[in-house]
Homo-oligomer: A and B are copies of this chain.
């Protein structure tokens, strides 16, 4: 079978090797990978390493949709033929995951654990959930990280009430899931982008309002669009000092879910709106397996279709990564076909 492997960090070290199909050990399932959804984090892991626990040869990526083709001893959770998704943080079934104040939980496929850019993987059965019935493999592969991150923010932690306003920054994978899930909960959604074309597509996808970030100050635009009331829930996908702008835009007792780190790893903002408006700020670490199971059910019930910008064959991973560099509208997926 084929598997992408690297012997050192750096995009140039990616090789599509031919290796033996793995054997599922006790408690494991063998899964034939149908599609892998790429995340911004995968680019970072490929370029600069997946963290201190990274081992070489390293296979990147965390989010797969596939079919169970073999069962290790003692597996009852799945049967051969079941369509499945991987979970981003292996072993995090519910709650905050394993870790402490000093050593925070940081485990993921294609990082601290092996990745999924391969034709087959053999992992513990507990690391998978059943795939939705209504999506093809490429669509389904976008749920474990991008979909679940938006779900954790908007449903698990921050239920959104009908009539509230949600704001998403940009039109990447988490942003568009946020747009779709917020609309499904009856909220108005504001999308910010620097591209007229992307704003038009966001509008077509259901955005209530769009703001071109270079044409006007987005916080002033929020005040205008909400009659000064502000935004009830912001998906803070930029990070860094941008949190300060979100604190200006947030409504009284609103919520800011911190997800992105594009503007650096130090968040800053003014105490004044934080103290006076009493918003809740919470970081989002993707989510747990129960959340992914709930998202799968919701996707089937809602008929929600994840937005895929482009699908690439497995061998074209380099082109897919270059697409990620350019900033896709929604997700970039690599398919085994």
| Residues of A that sit less than 8 Å from B by CB | 93-97, 99-106, 155, 159, 161-163, 181, 184-188, 208, 222-223, 226, 228-231, 239-240, 248-254, 258-259, 261, 264-285, 290, 294-295, 297-302
Contacts and interface: CB of A to CB of B under 8 A. Distances in A.
Contact of A275 (B252, B266, B284): B284
Contacts of A271: 239-240, 258, 261, 264-267, 283
A93 B94 contact: yes
The list of the 5 closest CB pairs from A to B, nearest first, reads A101-B230, A163-B298, A104-B276, A274-B283, A184-B186
Given A155-B161, A298-B186, A272 B265 contact: yes
A163 B276 contact: no
A209 to B, nearest CB: 11
24 contacts: A93-B94, A96-B253, A99-B276, A101-B222, A101-B250, A102-B223, A102-B228, A102-B230, A104-B273, A105-B252, A163-B298, A186-B298, A186-B301, A188-B301, A239-B271, A265-B271, A266-B268, A266-B271, A274-B283, A275-B283, A277-B283, A277-B285, A279-B282, A281-B282
Number of copies of this protein chain within its complex: 4
B277 A96 contact: yes
A185 B188 contact: no
A280 B282 contact: yes
A255 to B, nearest CB: 10
B252 A106 contact: no
Given A95-B290, A155-B161, A252-B99, A278 B272 contact: no
A159 B162 contact: no
Nearest to A151: B162
Contact of A267 (B269, B283, B285): B269
Contacts of A222: 101
Contacts of A283: 271, 273-279
A298 B165 CA distance: 10
A266 B270 CA distance: 5
A278 B279 CA distance: 15
Nearest to A181: B162
Given A101-B231, A101-B248, A104-B276, 19 more contacts: A99-B252, A100-B230, A104-B252, A105-B252, A105-B276, A105-B277, A106-B276, A163-B299, A181-B186, A184-B185, A184-B186, A186-B186, A186-B298, A186-B302, A265-B270, A265-B271, A275-B284, A275-B285, A277-B283
Given A222-B101, A283-B279, A253 B186 contact: no
